[in-house]
Structure formats: C-alpha cells, structure tokens
Structure 1
C-alpha cells in the first residue's frame, strides 16, 4: 500500500500542473494564449518520476498544446508560424526533460552504488578489526617475567592494520615473544597479519632452533604461499631457567625497530644490533641471533614503528623521545610504563601501535 500511495503522490504534481494549465487556458478564452506553459509538465515529471513517465508526460504536453491551439484559433494564416514554434518548443522541453531525468537517475544510481560500496567496505573493516582484536589477547604471566601489552589503532583513516604482538610457550621450555607489522592499513593487512601470526605459532612448535631459524622458516613459508606482503618482525625467546635470577633473552630482528631496554637503575637504551632483511623480499642471506642477560627489575619494550615514526619529525627524534619517556617512567609499574608511552602519541596519529613490555621479577 505504501509504495502505491507514493507513486500516486509522485504523479499528482505533473498531472495537476497539466490540468491547471489546460483549465487556465480554457477559462481565459481564446484571446489569451498560455499554451507554452504545458512544457512545465514533463519538467516536473523528470524531477519526480522515471524516464518512461517523463516520455508520457512529454507526449501529453505536445498533445495538449496541439489541441489548445485549435481552441485558441492558432492555426490561421497569421498564427500558424507562432503555433508551430510553440509546438516545437514544447517538444524540445520534453526532450530536455527526458535528458534531465536520465542524468538524475544516473546520479542516483551512482550514489546508491557508492553507499552500497561504502557499506561493504565498512563491514569488511569491522570484520577485520574484530579479527585483529580477537588475536591480540593478553600475553601470559610467567613465573619470573611480568608482561603487559597495548594496542592502539590509528586515529586517521582505517582503524585497522597489520601490527600485532604475541607470546606463547615453545617445546624447548622457553617462552617466545613476538612483535610484528605487516605493511598496509586495511583489511588485507589485518588478514595477512592473522595468517603470519598463525604460521609463526605453528612453525615455532616444530622448528628446532633459535628465533633466527623460526624467522627463516616463516619467510620461506610466506614466499612459498605467495602471500605477497612485506613484514617487519622481532622474534625473541625468554629462558627463565638461569640459576642467578637472570633471564636469557635471545632475539632476531627482521627489519623491525630495535627493542628498548630500561635497566633496573633507570638507564634506557636501544638494543641496536645488525638488522636482517624484512620478510617477504627473498630468501637470500642468513639471519642472526642476538643474546642478552636480563637481570631483576630490567624492563624490555618491544613496539611497532607507529610509536616512534612521525610525519613531522625524524625517526631518530622519535627513538630519542621513546628513551626519554622510558627514563622518566623508571620505578613505575609495567602498565604505567605502557600507558605513558601511548600518552606520548597525543590524540591523533596516522599509524597503529602495538607494544609488548616485559619485566624480570
């Protein structure tokens, strides 16, 4: 019932306009000619109705103009030329109305298509964001190492990306910790991140060796599967079995920003070691492990580049700001350290950020 009533109302205006013009012409008599006004009818139809209805009202306007010409005695020798011009004008008005209707309908289809595409994109982004957040679970709390993690999506553009952190036990009795970043800020980056994370977890359970060996296997798997993405990543293992209370840290870095260490006495420094190529380029060349002993109250911070890279400053300045914030957070809880690092981003940032912080008890 509702669509039918809407259609009736849409036809009421052009039909009413035509009726009013014809009635006016008939009322004022043959001495006053308002025939040309019937050209309004298809124009009104073009605004409210479709192409077919516009054609019908255009034909009705021409027919009304021709019939009113008889009533108004416009087919005499003196008035035939003027009447012919009126009929041509009314016909041209109908053609123009049809063209206007076609343009309107095309634009309406474009708007509807854009709205549908935006809705699909938004749904895909929402799904990817849900997927991404479902994978960023709280890291496990170890016997001698406390952990804290944070993830903050970009405030500019899509609220998803390829940043992730992870921590899980491996068969040799150590705990593997991961911080990684898939290039891109869209649903595809989030999906690739999920794929890389799953592959890494599986490989870490079967590949015997150090973080460098696991990264070598992950790089080969990504290339063999044709994932076609560039990934920067740091993979590390924590061995809590040291007799002196220290924790053995072994890590390998594939094109990722260096880990930061806040020592127990408050000194902050980057663990700058030779960085291997990122994943997804090729398999040439080996990968290197690095080792360090973490002593009680040492804090290790793994992070993605969104924490230190800015469009308005250099990377060196961003890294220096990171170390400064770590020094000022000495003595605070691990959660407070993470929150203070995120506070340095401000309200607007164009890259997502992941942080995984670890402190030896």
Structure 2
C-alpha cells in the first residue's frame, strides 16, 4: 500500500518513516505543505496519514480540504494531540475518516500501520458495496425490461390449456446470498386467428444488457411481421433470421439467438414447428405416460443471426387427445449440483422426462411448478446458472 504522509518537522518523522516502510507498504513523507500538495496526484495512494497540525494549526484545515478534493476515495487518518478535541470535532464534522491520538511518548506510532490498513480495508469494502449496489440496480433494470416482453396472460383456445413461466437465474454468492441475474430468455404466445395459436421460446447468447437487447430486438421483429402471410413456420423463421443477420445489436461480439417457433392448429390438432439451434419439443401421452422427443438433431437448424440464407425445416406432428407438449430453453435441463460436473451431472432430458412423468396426474399449472422444482432441486440451493423459459400446452 502506498501511504502519503503530511507531517510538520519533528523528531517523530524518522520513527514514522521506519514503521511505515515495512513489508509491502511504501510511505512518502512530506514536511512542507507545498511539496505535499504537489505530491497528492503523483501516485495511487492507498491511504493518507495527516498530522492535524500540518504544516501548522492555522493552515491544517486548508491542507485537509485540499487532500479531500484531490483524493476523494482515499481514507485520511488524522493524528491529533490529546488536548485538541475541539479541533478534532471540527475535522470529523468535515469528513475525517478516522483518527489517532498523538501522545508525547510516541506510542501512537506503533499503531499507525494497523490503523492505516484498517482504514484502507474499510474504504475498499465500502467502495465494493457501492459498486455491487449499482450493478444490482442495473441488473434489476435490465431484468425488468426483459420481463416486460413476457406475456402476462396467454391466449385461451377451445380444447386446450396453455401455461408459461420465466425464471431468471439465481446465483448464490459468498455462500449465502442469492443474486438474481439478467439473461436472454423469453417466451411468447399469441393467436393468429380463431384456430391457430403461435407458441415460441427463445434464448439469446450471453447475459446482461447485450442478451436482453437481442431478445427485445427479436421480440419486436416477430411482432412486426407476424401479420404477414407465410407458407409455414420455416419460412417465418427464415424471414426472422435474414433480418437478425443484419442487426448490429444481435451480432455484436458473435451473438446469436436460438428459437423454437411453433403453430398449433386447434381445428386439425396439428402442431407445426421450426427449430433454430434450440432444444426440441417433448410430447407426453397422458394415457400411457409415454414421452417422445419431437424430431431429431439433424432437424435442428443453425441459431438465428449466424448465417444468412440458411434453409430451415418445417416439422409437424398430431397432438392426440389427453396429451401435453413442452417447449423449453436450456436453462431447465442444464441445471447441475454445485459440486458436480456442468455436463455429466446436469438435470438433463432424463430429469425433465422423469419430472413430467411424476406430474401426470397434476393440473397443468402444478405440473409446471413441479418441473421447475425438480430442476432447481438438483442445484442444492446454489441456483440455476442460466435463466429459464418454459411453455406447456395440454389438449383436454
């Protein structure tokens, strides 16, 4: 730690210099006010030790104020004689960080290092706390912006029930506190007409402002072009991809978005979907409790904003009576225990299927709760490291 000392000429200076220049500490002692003022901006000072009689009692307040103005984030430890409490109160009221009494036997010198170290540590902790609070405010602002695009009410169509849920990632820090993170997940659902219901889940790469702005860009784009007539889901996703490939917001630093875009025709009970780098949907037959992955890995196209002109595939499947369809982002299956391997020990598709089977007799909203509970449970209280969006639809 670099220590700046302002001290009037006295017999104490030699001992102070010996005591402060030990270990990793480096002290610069100024005996004259002009030299001291000129030295304030010469280094990144960790702490200031200032005699409150420097350079003399009449000018000490002005030197103290100059120090505050030049080094607003640096702790100042004042040293004052034991009969000058009235002056000490004046310095404290003007922002003196801490002080030590200057006794005639010079015993105070033995305490200087520990007091300066404590002052520097306290200020650093306070500075870190301020930064953490500001970051938390920024994260909350981004998270609220992101959550603003998540639908509050989902469409209601005959013979079908729909639920959706978004949860931000929560990371346990310092072994105790949970910090809610901002991410790039989102889901949406809207009716195209009386018979067709759109359901989609998306996941922008990364976290924070960048991921949120990417999702906002895609959300706005989808809402803008959804009224256009497209032959199928593949043509729609291709149109979205072409526009996002030209988006600086999404493509900055190699960003991309995964998307599962689907249309359910409630008159024919056919589900049509296109997958752009996203986990495939799951179909649960509630009469047999059999769960099927709809599609295979070869039918998963590139994420959006990676390559213009990519040819996406349109897939379809019938939705039998008494069945459920699950759409989700990878935050659900990639949950893992704090001491485990992020790949080998994650919740995985196996965990999702097991949770769905366990919840077969539950109402749809309770089945959703159970799925999130089981995914979170595997983290042993450490929280999921990625935000999560899930949609479930049930044919009655």
Match of 1:325 among 340, 355, 364: 355
Structure 1 unaligned regions, length at least 5: 1-13, 23-34, 62-92
DSSP-derived class of the 1:344 partner? helix
Counterpart-to-counterpart distance in 1, 2:129 and 2:329: 34
8 Å CA contact retained: 1:138, 1:149:
no
Does the aligned pair in 1 maintain the 2:335–2:347 contact within 8 Å?
no
CA contact (8 A) 1:165 1:178 kept: yes
Of 146, 157, 169 in structure 2, the residue corresponding to residue 154 of structure 1 is 169
Given the alignment, which residue of 326, 343, 352 partners 1:301?
326
Return 5+ residue gaps in structure 2 as ranges: 1-5, 20-27, 38-48, 58-108, 172-178
Shift in Å at residue 163 of structure 1? 0.8
CA contact (8 A) 1:171 1:205 kept: no
Distance 1:112 1:241 in 2: 62
CA shift for structure 1 position 327: 1.6
| Offset of residue 193 of structure 1 | 1.2
**In structure 2, what is the equivalent of residue 356 of structure 1?**
391
**Structure 1 residues 113 and 184: alpha-carbon distance in aligned structure 2, compared to 1, 3 A threshold:** same
- Equivalence for 2:372: 342
Q: Which has the higher strand share?
A: 2
Structure 2 partner of 1:123: 137
Is the 1:258–1:271 Cα contact (8 Å) retained in structure 2? yes
| Secondary structure of 2:11 counterpart | helix
Q: In 2, Cα distance between the equivalents of 1:59 and 1:315?
A: 66
Displacement, 1:184? 1.2
2:275 is matched with which residue? 253
CA distance in 1, matches of 2:199, 2:279: 15
> Contact 2:277–2:301 (CA<8 Å) still a contact in 1?
yes
Query: Which sits farther off after the overlay, 165-174 or 300-309?
Result: 165-174
Aligned-pair distance for 1:351? Answer: 1.3
The answer to whether structure 1 residue 233 and structure 2 residue 268 are counterparts is: no
Helix, strand or coil at the partner of 2:214 = helix
Post-superposition offset of 1:174: 1.4
Does structure 2 retain, via aligned residues, the 8 Å contact 1:301–1:355? yes
Q: Which moved more, 1:270-279 or 1:314-323?
A: 314-323
Counterpart residue number, 1:278? 303
| Aligned-partner Cα distance in 2 for 1:219–1:301 | 24
Cα deviation digits, residues 276-295 of structure 1 (max 9, x gap): 11111112431111111112
Whole-Å Cα distance in 2 between the matches of residues 131 and 238 of structure 1?
Answer: 28
Larger Rg: 1
Contact 2:187 2:390 in 1 (8 A): yes
Aligned to 2:86: none
How far off is 1:59 after superposition? 4.0
Which of 196, 206, 226 is the matching residue for 1:204? 226
Q: Is the CA contact (8 Å cut-off) linking 1:308 and 1:315 kept in structure 2?
A: no
Report what 1:135 is aligned to. 149
Deviations 1:42-64 (A, max 9, x none): 99xx9xxx965949845449xxx
Instruction: Please state how far the C-alpha of 1:142 moved relative to its aligned partner.
Output: 1.6
CA distance in 2, matches of 1:261, 1:110: 54
Q: Secondary structure at the match of 1:295?
A: coil
Contact preservation (8 Å) 1:180, 1:232: yes
State yes or no: 1:177 paired with 2:199.
yes
Q: Could you say which residue in structure 2 is the equivalent of 1:88?
A: none
**Which segment is superposed worse, 293-302 or 264-273?**
264-273
- Aligned partners of 2:202 and 2:306: how far apart in 1? 16
Deviations 1:52-90 (A, max 9, x none): 5949845449xxxxxxxxxxxxxxxxxxxxxxxxxxxxx
* Superposition deviation, residue 141 in structure 1: 1.9
